[in-house]
Structure 1
């Protein structure tokens, strides 16, 4: 059995806006599903380290 550390809470920016590390949102290192108002989106980290958000 493997255990992983819980994702750390977002760090506030100097403007009070939360900063999330994308790798914490993508547990398998490639994709994560994000829901907003009943819509499902996919967040993907490319091999080049770019983020792509698709519906």
Structure 2
């Protein structure tokens, strides 16, 4: 279930604050997403308990 953007967060983002991402937007298939940093690939997963796990 995705939440609507928080208006306070959206306002903070427009003022140059740290970007905020909904994990469900990154993990579009509901299971995992690959994130690449400096040529290294990491896997971001949402567990059954609703926790995030980032592994190399």
Is residue 21 of structure 2 the alignment partner of residue 20 of structure 1?
A: yes
On the 8 A contact 1:30/1:44 being kept in 2, the answer is yes
| CA distance in structure 2 between the aligned counterparts of 1:13 and 1:51, rounded to whole angstroms | 26
| CA distance in structure 2 between the aligned counterparts of 1:17 and 1:53, rounded to whole angstroms | 20
Question: Which residue in the other structure is 2:37 paired with?
Answer: 36
Runs of 4+ in structure 1 off by over 6 angstroms are none
TM-score (ref. length: structure 2): 0.72
Deviation at 1:53, TM superposition (A): 0.1
Number of matched residues?
Answer: 45
Q: For the aligned residues, what is the CA RMSD?
A: 1.8
Unaligned stretches of 5+ residues in structure 1: 1-10
Unaligned stretches of 5+ residues in structure 2: 1-9
